[in-house]
Structure formats: C-alpha cells, structure tokens
C-alpha cells in the first residue's frame, strides 16, 4: 500500500474514532482524555492537509457536531474555531520530539514575520475547563446565547443561560449597538460537590455535568446549581466603541459586570516568560476552585487579528498551552477482551499496578481494535497510563525505546473469547453476534434492570450478578419468575429486602413497550428510538410482524421506514436505512422473539400504556416541527402530546412537514416554513387539534 493510500485509510479510521468519542462526550460518558482526543484531531488535520481535503468537507466542519435534538440552532457570525495547541506529540523534521519551548518559539517567529514587527506583545490567560458560549447583546441587553456547536453554528440556550443568574442579562452603562461576547460556563468544584451530593446518580465531572445542565429543556432550577461564567473575548461589534487591546477589552467587560479573570492575566513580550507563566500556573491549579486544563497565549493588539486571519480550523492570533495530565509508566502484562451488553468486544490492558491520580490502576481501556493498532500497543511494552477525566484509566502512549525484540501485534479475535461464536466487524468495532453469550447475558440483564430501562427497584448490579451466578437467570423473563425465598437466600439479602425486590419486579411489569425495547439492548435502539418505535407500532406483536416483513424485503414496509430517496422521511423520525436494517433483523431473530414470548408469558406489558394512547384524526400521521418558546407548553410536553395522538415530531422543516408550531423567537425554522409554504400554527391551534382548546 502506497503512502497516500495509507494516509487515506488512517484518515477514515480517525474520522470514525472522532465521531464515536464526540458522541460519547455529548452523552456524558467520555472514554478518553481531552489530550488524547486533541491528538486524534491534530493528526486528522495533518492528514487532511497532506491529502488536500477541502476545509469545508472536513470532519470538524460537518454541521450539527454538538447539536441536541429539540434545540434551535444559530449560525456564528464569526466562527468559533479551536486554537492551535502546543502538543506533547509534535515532532521536528528529523522525527525527534519537539519541546514546548521550540514550538512556542516557532509560533512567535511566524507571527512576527507575518506582521513585520520585532516585538510581539502577548497576554497569557487561564483556560477554565467548561463549555464555550457565545452571547449576543443588543444595546447592552442579552438577546441570544449559543453553544460553540461545530464552530459554525450551535444550539440556542438563551433561556438556560438567563436562568442561571450568573450571566449579565443587561450590561452596565450605556451601550449602543450589537456585540458578541464569548466565554465559558463552568461549575466551581465546591458547588459541583454540593449539588452532586443531592443526586441519586452522581454526575461524572464538572464539565460534563455543566454541559448536561445547559441542555436541559426545562431551565427551572438551574439557578440552584451554582454554575458560573467567565468571559474572555469580544468576537465582533457593530457600532460599539471598544478598546484597542485584549487586556483593555477584559477591563471593559469587567467594568460592565461581566466576570473576567483580570488578576490572572499576565502581559509580556518574552516567549520564555510566557511559557514559564504557563508552567508555574500548572503547579497552582490544585489550589483553585475550578478545573483548568491549560492556558491561552494571545496577541494583545486586537487590530492584528484581522491581519493574521485563520486557517479552516484555527485562528492565528493565539495558541493554547494544555496542562499535561499525570502519566505513569508501567508494564503491559496482557491484553484481555471484554464483552459488552450489545456484544461489543473491547480490548483491555492488564497492567503492573501503578498509582495514577489518586488510585492504583491495574486495568485500563484500550477502547477498540482500531485504536489499539493505531497506537501499536503490544504485550510486554512499557506504556504510559493516565485517567480520562481523572476517572477512567487508559493507555495513551507506548515507550517504544523499551520494546523488546520480537514483540507481536495483538490480533483482534476471530471468535468471542467467552462463547466461541465467530466475531463480526462493523465500522471500528468487533462484535459477538451470539445473544446467549454469558457475558452478554450478564451485561444485558444489568441494563434491563437499570433506571433508564425497566427501573426495577432493588435490582442493582451486585444482585444481578448473584441471580445469574447462583439462580441461573439467563433471560429478562427469568427475573420476573424469581420467588421471595430464592432472593432471600442470596448474600446480603433478607426476607424484607427480597419482598421489596419482588414488589419492584411486579411494578416494572407495567412500564410499557418503550421501556422494554430500551431494556433489550438492541443495537441502535436507545431511549428515544425505543419510545418512537413503541409510539408507532403500539404493540410488540405489530412490531414483530413488521420486522418479519422487513427482513423478507417486503418493499411496502421497507419504504415505510426507510425510503430509497434520501430527501424523503420515513415513518419514524431519525431512523436511517442502515440502522433500520440492523434493528429489524435483530427484532426478527429467534433469540429476541423468544425474549418477547417469555416476557408475555410472565405478564409484562408489551403495549404502549393505555393512558398514552389517544390517537386523533387531526394529528395521526401528521408531521409537526416545534420552534420558539410556546406560551404554556414546554417543548417536551408538546412533543409527548403530539406523539400520543399519533403524530410525529421532526427536528427540521421540509416539504413533508404538515405543521410548524411557532412560539416566541421562532428562528430559522419559521423562515424555512414560510419559504416552503408549510402551514404555521400557534400553541392555541395545536391545542385545538389535540382537542384541548378552552
């Protein structure tokens, strides 16, 4: 394989990796550190540059990279680009590691040459670890708040930001004109710990918790979280008199009531002093009440920014210094393969125990076999271990200078290590397709009993392990067949606890079809898709009959959910052809049909709950799009009522849309509906269609 072909293969693998880890981050379950993710993105950009990929076609330019369903989007007037970073993985032309000092010196030289100056005044600011936000003010009043999103457009979170009470909705003084201020929403450590202590299921860390809170559809109560903001940039203005330097701009913001960290800003013309300040700050960060993952070095003269311009993925006026996470070397003793609830096979590093970030680590994630090959990890290697988000141990690098001769690459398994079934590959993952695999059984039962699925009170992971190991439970229906005496005989269980679990099982029988579908761990079926499938098919019998016809290539049913034309929507919002193929083939499998039969036999409800069914002729089969703020209905409640009446709710407007329900500040969906001639109604008209008008 030639050099270009190898680069193309690596670029495609990195694309899949980046998409996967972005999705994991948005879901609040990151598997790798920011530094590791940044390394992937930097390598992706290097390869994209090498291959001449148009910036508009690159992964980081794809729309919706951080979009959450149900949120309006808004385009950034000036893109919110990531900064170039001083990277611990950068190498010089001879292949030797390039120290931060050399990288920063090169950056200083480039900027001086481009600006034709001898001295480059810069300021150094802390980089608080939160979520970026863009705030648009008109005549000093907050008009709109938007997340970074994909850098070009983000989600509108104006109501959420206003509810916090820590972002000024009115800037002090008299201000005429428009301006955009950029900053970071973050969760102070003490406030995060206080709030986390009130939760039954603690949040993973302050940043992910903050991101999740700001995407709550109902902002009420956000002021109780303690989430704060600080501001670091005026991105653009229209008619506002502003200072000439970044340092003065920060003071201008402070004078108008915006939180900035002026006392933490360092001014210099020396690249050595700038780097030393970054390194000294690293030593201080353990004393701070907020997470900080690095520093930002910016040119102070704002007039120089437009002269320098930007690449497709970062501006030239600044560079980021990322604090190196604690990494410890240790020996990789072996690589094991774990089996997840969906059958995903994941390589796990077995390590000589090493103390990292407060705990002793003997196992660490290797994520997937593509990543394993990319890092060229081999048994016997000396590896560097760190924790993703200070929580999840992972192998980040191999010290190849200590590799022994003859060390062999790890070959992905051809068969499941637990049950021996031939493995199958899909994208960057390898799966065991045997639903009876013992490890899958255990993980699926844990998921089935979990709060987001059947929510079986008292049936935690420890108890699931016991009923599998000691009582022979293998399928979801086996759980409902358990008797009080059997449960009472297990470790740490008595009669009262057993009775409570049995009562929890009886209560769970009435959760309905949506919860059951979510609990079965069918690939591509999460909570939303499970609810949408249940709402459309109403009963398991109808769903399974449809699956059988789909698998038989009945053109009528295939076109119903997965039209051949990409411009046409199927009956179930968000269900693409590839996912539909996977879902309906799995639903039609003997193993899944057996599970449904078993659940029906023990009395588990396999229908949409009767209280949720009230199909109305004016709504059924119609597609609705919601936009803006409705007078009385929250968007989630409006969506629920439309679906319960047999309608569909889409996130975007097309010619197939029947109604756009518009509230205050409706945004671009309103404009598109007008241009397409789609009927636009208000909340009162929607309630009339639902038969709920006063």
Burial of 566 (C-beta count, 10 Å sphere; 0-12/13-18/19+): exposed
Return the residue matching tokens 């394993």: 372
What residues contact residue 542 under an 8 Å CB cut-off, 6+ apart? none
> What contacts 598, CB < 8 A, 6 or more positions away?
475, 476, 477, 478
In this structure, the number of other CB atoms found within 10 A of the CB of residue 501 comes to 25
- Rounded to whole angstroms, the Cα distance separating 339 from 126 reads 41
Q: Is 95 exposed, middle or buried (0-12, 13-18, 19+ CB in 10 A)?
A: exposed
Task: Name 457's Cβ contacts closer than 8 Å, sequence gap at least 6.
Answer: 500, 501, 503, 504, 507, 508
Specify whether the CB–CB gap between 141 and 256 falls below 8 A: no
Q: Name 32's Cβ contacts closer than 8 Å, sequence gap at least 6.
A: 21, 367, 388, 394
Largest CA distance in the chain: 84
Q: Which of 453, 451, 509, 499 is nearest to 477 (CA)?
A: 509
SS3 179: strand
Distance (Å, rounded) from C-alpha 27 to C-alpha 537?
A: 27
What number of residues does the chain have? 694
Contact present, 435 and 592 (Cβ < 8 Å) = yes
- Determine the Cα angle at 15 with ends 11 and 21, to 5°: 140
Which residues are part of the catalytic machinery?
127
């Amino acid at each position: 394989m030639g050099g270009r072909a190898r680069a193309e293969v690596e670029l495609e693998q990195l694309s899949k990796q980046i998409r996967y880890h972005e999705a994991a981050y948005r879901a609040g379950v990151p598997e790798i550190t920011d530094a590791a993710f940044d390394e992937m993105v930097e390598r992706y950009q290097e390869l994209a540059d090498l291959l001449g990929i148009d910036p508009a076609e690159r992964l980081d330019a794809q729309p919706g990279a951080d979009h959450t369903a149900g949120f309006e989007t808004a385009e950034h007037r000036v893109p919110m680009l990531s900064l170039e970073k001083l990277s611990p993985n950068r190498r010089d032309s001879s292949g030797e590691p390039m120290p931060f000092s050399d990288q920063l010196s090169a950056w200083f030289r480039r900027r001086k040459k481009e600006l034709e100056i001898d001295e480059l005044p810069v300021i150094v600011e802390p980089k608080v670890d939160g979520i970026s936000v863009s705030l648009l003010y008109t005549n000093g009043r907050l008009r709109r708040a938007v997340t970074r999103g994909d850098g070009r457009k983000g989600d509108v979170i104006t109501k959420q930001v206003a509810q916090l009470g820590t972002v000024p909705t009115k800037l002090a003084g008299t201000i005429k004109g428009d301006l955009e201020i950029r900053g970071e929403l973050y969760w102070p450590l003490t406030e995060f710990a206080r709030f986390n202590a009130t939760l039954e299921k603690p949040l993973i860390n302050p940043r992910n918790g903050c991101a999740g809170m700001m995407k709550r559809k109902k902002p009420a109560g956000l002021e109780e979280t303690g989430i704060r903001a600080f501001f670091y940039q005026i991105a653009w203005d229209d008619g506002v008199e502003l200072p000439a330097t970044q340092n003065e701009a920060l003071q201008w913001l402070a004078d108008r009531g915006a939180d900035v960290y002026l006392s933490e800003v360092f001014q210099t013309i020396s690249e050595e002093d700038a780097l030393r300040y970054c390194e000294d700050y690293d030593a201080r960060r353990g004393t701070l009440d907020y997470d900080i993952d690095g520093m930002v070095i910016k040119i102070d003269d704002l007039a120089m920014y437009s002269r320098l311009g930007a690449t497709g993925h970062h501006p030239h006026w600044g560079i980021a210094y990322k604090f190196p996470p604690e990494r410890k070397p240790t020996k990789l003793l072996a690589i094991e393969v774990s089996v997840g609830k969906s059958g995903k096979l994941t390589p796990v590093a077995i390590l000589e125990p090493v103390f990292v970030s407060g705990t002793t680590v003997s196992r660490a994630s290797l994520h997937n076999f593509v990543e394993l090959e990319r890092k060229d990890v081999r048994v016997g290697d000396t590896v560097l271990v760190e924790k993703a988000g200070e929580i999840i141990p992972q192998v980040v690098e191999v010290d190849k200078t200590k590799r022994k001769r003859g060390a062999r690459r790890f070959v992905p398994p051809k068969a499941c290590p637990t049950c021996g079934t031939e493995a199958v590959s899909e994208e960057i993952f390898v799966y065991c397709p045997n639903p009876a695999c013992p490890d899958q059984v255990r993980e699926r039962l844990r998921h089935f009993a979990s709060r987001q699925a059947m929510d079986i009170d008292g049936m935690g992971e420890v108890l699931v392990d016991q009923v599998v190991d000691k009582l022979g439970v293998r399928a979801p229906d086996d759980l409902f067949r358990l008797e009080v005496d059997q449960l009472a005989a297990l470790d740490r269980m008595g009669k009262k606890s057993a009775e409570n679990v049995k009562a929890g099982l009886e209560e769970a029988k009435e959760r309905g079809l949506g919860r059951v579908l979510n609990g079965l761990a069918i690939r591509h079926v999460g909570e939303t898709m499970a609810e949408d499938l249940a709402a459309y098919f109403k009963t398991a019998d109808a769903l399974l009959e449809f699956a059988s016809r789909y698998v038989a290539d009945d053109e009528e049913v295939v076109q119903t959910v997965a039209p051949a034309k990409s411009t046409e929507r199927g009956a179930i919002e968000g269900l693409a052809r590839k996912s539909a193929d996977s879902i309906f083939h799995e639903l039609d499998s003997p193993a899944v049909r057996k599970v449904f039969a078993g659940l029906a036999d023990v009395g588990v409800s396999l229908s949409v709950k009767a209280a949720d069914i009230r199909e109305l002729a004016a709504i059924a089969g119609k597609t609705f799009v919601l936009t803006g703020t409705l007078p009385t209905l929250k968007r989630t409640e409006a969506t629920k009522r439309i679906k319960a009446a047999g309608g569909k709710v889409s996130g975007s407007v097309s010619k197939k849309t029947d109604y756009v329900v518009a509230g205050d500040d409706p945004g671009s969906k309103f404009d598109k509906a007008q241009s397409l001639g789609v009927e636009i109604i208000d909340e009162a008209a929607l309630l009339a269609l639902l038969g709920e008008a006063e």
